[in-house]
Amino acid sequence: MKAIVVDKTGGPEALQFKDSPKPKAEAGQILVKNHAIGVNYIDTYHRKGIYPMPTPFIPGAEGAGEVVEVGPDVTDFKVGDRVAYTGSKSYAEFTPVPVLSAGKIPDNVSYSDASALLLQGLTAWTMVRDGYPVKKGDYVLVHAAAGGVGLLLCQMANLLGATVIGTVSNDEKAKLAKQNGAHHIINYSHEDTVARVQELTNGQGCHAVLDGVGASTFETSLKSVRRLGTLISFGNASGVVPPISIAILGEKSIKLMRPRLYAYIATKEEKDKWWGELFQLLADKKLNIQIYKTYKLEDAKTAHTDIESRKTVGKLLLEL
Ligand code: NDP
């Protein structure tokens, strides 16, 4: 089969389009023929070696397609089922997927939409429902508000009744974040985020700050949380947050969380709950899926260059 293979970690050129042995569905697995493959920031961490993986490896944490083979003991799925999944090795024609990581998708949901929503949608929904349960009247600050996770966080926090403040780096992103639920936008290229947050929250700061940018925003995030508020640091788009002393949380008695999606969907019950709620939001037309661009699988390196250059908004997909 055709696949992207990383033999040696590095820049986007590490993503090589190659022939690779076609996998089989082993016990507890289904084999999925991918029709849409999600690009996620974590793919860049794997490619660069920030999250080390044994080499060679096929990157990719999400996809959607049809089941073409089921493992010997699999009863929940059959050949021909339309599924989406989170996990690994999705930058390929075929991906073996543990059944716990896969789910059937409704007939009226396209492979592209399922793959655009699943991983980022689960990340965002678990964050606003469990990480910090957003409630009516809250002020919530979302960094990278026009990004893949960011646009979904804006929509979801708005849906739950919060006043949403989004940060972005340019005016085009500002417009899109506003169209997707942000009430106020801070363009940090020419505005001071901490000062604007104080102004918008009557000097109190935000009940929750949702920060997937990491190193470059951590200080700003700390300063933007209100007394007894919550800071969720969920990613490293600008680099890993350096080690901190927990004593810095004491001044305002802040809760600090570092979530990882997979901890939320570790059992079938948990997975079914969060997937069910996410797809219900979609069925109820409460979510707008924003696809930036669909690239050919062989152009994965361009997709990585684009997402890392901060010019993208919403979701990037790959297709064969
Ligand atoms: P995005 O589409 O949000 O892209 C990253 C955005 O971060 C950019 O568009 C840019 O927006 C902003 N940014 C600020 N500084 C930098 C920088 N130095 N380099 C690159 N980008 C920068 O990506 P995703 O939606 O895919 O992911 C967002 C974050 O969520 C990532 O950190 C990712 O790792 C994390 N994540 C975490 C998960 C978890 O389980 N914990 C699961 C899924 C995602 P702007 O220009 O407007 O500032």
pTM of the model: 0.98
Q: What is the CA radius of gyration of the chain?
A: 20
Question: Do residues 22 and 65 share a domain?
Answer: yes
Last residue of a domain, one of 206, 225, 258: 258
Which of 258, 282, 311 is a domain's end point? 258
Same domain, residue pair 185 and 146: yes
CATH of the domain at 38: 3.90.180.10
Same structural domain, 194 and 169:
yes
Domain residue limits at 271: 2-119+264-319
Report the pLDDT value the prediction gives residue 26, as an integer from 0 to 100. Answer: 98
For residue 158, being part of any structural domain is answered with yes
* Residue in the structure block whose two tokens are 């699999």: 74
The pLDDT of residue 190 is: 97
Together in a domain, 68 and 46: yes
Distance in angstroms (rounded) separating the CA atoms of residues 42 and 50: 9
Q: 274: phi > 0 → left, psi -120 to 50 → alpha, else beta; which?
A: alpha
Whether 209 is covered by a domain: the verdict is: yes
**Which helix (H) or strand (E) covers residue 237, if one does?**
none
User: 151 and 177 share a domain?
Assistant: yes
Q: With H, G, I as helix, E, B as strand and everything else as coil, classify residue 117.
A: helix
pLDDT in tens, 99-144: 999 999 999 999 999 999 999 999 999 999 999 999 999 999 999 9
Structure tokens at 30: 């289904």
Distance from residue 214's CA to the centre of ligand 1 (Å): 9
146 and 97 housed in the same domain: no
Taking residues 42-62, what's their average pLDDT?
Answer: 97
Pocket test for ligand 1, best of 167, 190, 213 (most atoms within 8 A of CB): 213
| Substitution candidate for ligand 1 out of 310, 316, 318 with most atoms within 8 A of CB | 310
**How far does residue 192's CA lie from ligand 1's centre (Å)?**
20
Are 161 and 138 a contacting pair, CB within 8 Å? Answer: yes
- Joined tokens for residue 292: 């930036």
DSSP β-ladder status, 29-39 and 94-98: antiparallel
Clarify whether residues 188 and 205 are in a common domain: yes
Residues 216 and 306 in one domain: no
Is residue 237 in some structural domain?
Answer: yes
pLDDT digits (tens, 9 = 90+) for 185-203: 999 999 999 999 999 999 9
Domains contained in the chain, number: 2
Neighbours of 201 (CB within 10 A): 18
- Structural domain includes residue 127: no
Same domain (yes/no): 69, 34 = yes
Q: Is residue 124 part of a domain?
A: no
Tell whether 275 and 224 lie within a shared domain: no
Q: Name the closest-CA residue to atom 29, ligand 1.
A: 212
The residue-averaged pLDDT of 159-174 equals 98
143 CA distance to ligand 1 centroid (A)? Answer: 8
Q: Is residue 16 in some structural domain? A: yes
Distance CA 21, CA 14 (A): 19
For 8-36, how does the pLDDT look when each residue is reduced to its tens digit (9 = 90+)?
999 999 999 999 999 999 999 999 999 99
Element holding 206 (H helix, E strand): strand 206-211
- In this structure, the residues whose C-beta lies within 6 A of any atom of ligand 1 are 40-42, 119-120, 123, 144, 146-150, 168-169, 173, 212-213, 216, 234-238, 259-261, 307-308, 310, 312
Q: Please check whether residue 126 lies inside any domain of the structure.
A: no
| CATH code for the domain in which residue 182 is found | 3.40.50.720
Closest ligand 1 atom number to CA of residue 41: 26
C-alpha closest to that of 126 among 239, 254, 276, 26: 276
Give the mean model confidence (pLDDT) for residues 227-247: 97
253 and 283 assigned to the same domain: no
Q: Is the peptide bond before 56 cis (omega within 30 degrees of 0)?
A: yes
Q: What is the mean pLDDT of residues 282-291?
A: 97
Domain ends where: 240, 258, 276?
A: 258
Say yes or no: 139 and 93 in one domain.
no
Looking at the domain assignment, is residue 282 inside a domain?
yes
The arithmetic mean of pLDDT across residues 202-222, rounded, is 98
- Of the pLDDT bands very low, low, confident and very high (cuts 50, 70, 90), residue 228 is very high
